[in-house]
Structure 1
Amino acid sequence: MLIDLTGKTAIVTGSTAGIGLAIAHGLARSGASVVVNGRTEARVHTAVEEIRAAYPDANVRGVAADLATASGCEKLVNAEPHADILVNNLGIFEAVDFFEIPDDDWQRFFNVNVLSGVRVSRAYAPGMVENGWGRIVFLSSESGINIPTEMIHYGFTKSANLSVSRGLAKRLAGTGVTVNAVLPGPTLSEGVMAMIEPAAKKQGISTEEAASQFVKAKRPSSIIQRAATTEEVANMVVYVCSQQASATTGAAMRVEGGIVDTLT
């Protein structure tokens, strides 16, 4: 399958590292003009230069803006008023017991993981409808279905991503704009690697081996019995952004290694 996104402008939020950066790479490789987003100019510049080095002919640019705030979302939209593809990847996670999560952290997780995607989708979707073509993707998680006891506030936001993506898909019915959610499981991103690294050093094993142990211990229903790579997740996102996925909308696309033990 040849995915050609030439002529399409793709915005990927939270794309200076991890899954977001891998998605930006995949979209650039497929010919899209890619807008990288992060909170600081330095990180955005580094990510843009990395993608340009990998794909010298790619059209890649960046916008530094904190999308957890309304002003940050406005800054992005003012800098990049048009998008054919919007990937709402921005997200945070942390393992904290329910009884130790203050109100401010619940609000922070909602602002970053949910409201950022709501705001930018609200800004870019009308232009997609006007053009008769568009792709909006929300990065949810298997944790939105299998709520993890160690980070309930994170699971709550990932469930919200599923609700928003499904509802928005229905709202945009018949417009040529598709809206989908992609559900990764444990993935070898920088954030996960940093969380796993202390255990790896203590045992004298690689972070990949430690990640595999984590999956087997904490996500025993995993069928692949390992963490996914960021590229494996990005491949699913690039597909749902393509013309080939034109009949896929309102869907929750899993790339979590079979952790979710249901048929639908």
Structure 2
Amino acid sequence: MDLQIKGKTALITGGDSGLGIETAKFLVREGVNVILSDKKNNKELKEAVKQVEKDCENGAKVMGIAADISKNQEVLDLADKIDTEFGGAHIIFHSAGARGAAGDFLKLTDDDWMKTIEVDLMGAVRIARAFVPQMQKLKWGRMILVASENAFQPYEEESPYNACKAAIINLSKCLSRSYSKENLLFNCISPAYIETPMTDAMMEELAKEKDTTVEKAVQWFVKNKRPHIAMQRRGRPEEVASVVAFLCSEHASYVNGSNIRIDGGAVESAFG
């Protein structure tokens, strides 16, 4: 399918792995210039750029720029670099985030909460504040934020993450109401238990606790902790990326202020 976005420029945060890198591959095949960003200019980010370059078509360019979304000045510097190099970003896929502090609610401190909020909520606020003006200047824009099944079906040990992801959906809706008349569209996706570095780390920790393999830890987790996943498996990053690519396209021109669950049936309610 021709997404009709050849020549556009996209910023992907959390771009060195998982959902970010898979979405980048979809977009560069459509001729979209992609900036991959993560908090460190490390070997993972450089390797991600090399991987995505293999998929480039129609003159697409790929660049890696480090930026820590928990630091406002670094987000502003990122925006300035993209404006200078490409004239601004038409598309923002903000996939950077962290599980943050987890555990018994009464044992989580203010500091635990604030560290999670700084990344998972305020990171999105900073990105939107820095890049909406670029989209306005370009008179065309798509911003996709990442929420989670946790926003609808919260898990008790992840209360800061749950709250931030619910807030992301509200933020996206607020932005859609504020700027849609300027041809800027804002949407959310809510993935559940996808094969990403975050869930990989969770499963490695669980495997150690249970003295078993990661594969068996995944099976145990699906059965005991995520029993509502109708498909009974982890999702693949490309299964999420394909939906994001559609939301970036001209074909999604009447999708605005929406949240799309990509969860294999993980949310039990029909109306979540």
Q: Name the SS for the 1:36 alignment partner.
A: strand
The Cα shift of 1:234 comes to 1.0
Quote the residue 1:44 is aligned against.
45
Quote the residue 1:85 is aligned against.
91
Q: Name the SS for the 1:248 alignment partner.
A: coil
Q: 1:210 to 1:103 in 2, by over 3 A?
A: same
What are the superposed Cα offsets for residues 209-260 of structure 1, whole Å, 9 maximum, x if unpaired? 5324312211212221211011111111111111100000000011011122
AA partner of residue 126 (structure 1): P
The Cα shift of 1:153 comes to 0.5
* 2:31–2:56 Cα contact (<8 Å) kept: no
Counterparts of 2:22 and 2:112 in 1: how far apart (Å)?
Answer: 28
Q: 1:77 to 1:211 in 2, by over 3 A?
A: same
AA partner of residue 115 (structure 1): M
AA partner of residue 182 (structure 2): T
Quote the residue 2:63 is aligned against.
61
1:184 to 181, 191, 201: 191
Counterparts of 1:247 and 1:63 in 2: how far apart (Å)?
Answer: 31
* 1:140–1:158 Cα contact (<8 Å) kept: yes
AA partner of residue 127 (structure 2): V
Q: 1:58 to 1:132 in 2, by over 3 A?
A: closer
What are the superposed Cα offsets for residues 42-93 of structure 1, whole Å, 9 maximum, x if unpaired? 2322211121134476410011111111111112112112110011111000
Quote the residue 2:107 is aligned against.
100
The Cα shift of 1:184 comes to 0.2
TM-score (norm 2): 0.90
The Cα shift of 1:144 comes to 1.1
Quote the residue 2:253 is aligned against.
246
Q: Name the SS for the 2:144 alignment partner.
A: strand
Quote the residue 1:32 is aligned against.
32
AA partner of residue 6 (structure 1): K
TM-score (norm 1): 0.92
Gaps of 5+ in 1: none
Are residues 1:125 and 2:136 paired? no
Q: Name the SS for the 1:16 alignment partner.
A: coil
Alignment of 1:1-264 (within 5 A): 1-42=1-42, 43-55=44-56, 58-81=60-83, 82-94=88-100, 95-200=102-207, 205=213, 207=215, 210-264=217-271
Counterparts of 2:242 and 2:47 in 1: how far apart (Å)?
Answer: 22
* 2:98–2:119 Cα contact (<8 Å) kept: yes
The Cα shift of 1:19 comes to 1.6
Q: 1:248 to 1:40 in 2, by over 3 A?
A: same
Counterparts of 1:216 and 1:25 in 2: how far apart (Å)?
Answer: 32
What are the superposed Cα offsets for residues 9-34 of structure 1, whole Å, 9 maximum, x if unpaired? 00011111122222222222222100
Q: Name the SS for the 2:134 alignment partner.
A: helix
Counterparts of 2:189 and 2:164 in 1: how far apart (Å)?
Answer: 14
Counterparts of 1:159 and 1:6 in 2: how far apart (Å)?
Answer: 33
Percentage of matched positions with identical amino acids: 31
Q: Name the SS for the 1:173 alignment partner.
A: helix
What are the superposed Cα offsets for residues 140-195 of structure 1, whole Å, 9 maximum, x if unpaired? 00101111101110011101100100111011132211100000000111221122
Q: 1:200 to 1:2 in 2, by over 3 A?
A: farther
What are the superposed Cα offsets for residues 100-150 of structure 1, whole Å, 9 maximum, x if unpaired? 222112111111111121122122213323433110010000101111101
Q: Name the SS for the 1:128 alignment partner.
A: helix
Counterparts of 2:214 and 2:120 in 1: how far apart (Å)?
Answer: 30
Count of aligned pairs between the two proteins: 263
* 1:137–1:182 Cα contact (<8 Å) kept: yes
Q: 1:212 to 1:4 in 2, by over 3 A?
A: farther
Counterparts of 1:9 and 1:176 in 2: how far apart (Å)?
Answer: 16
Q: Name the SS for the 2:5 alignment partner.
A: coil
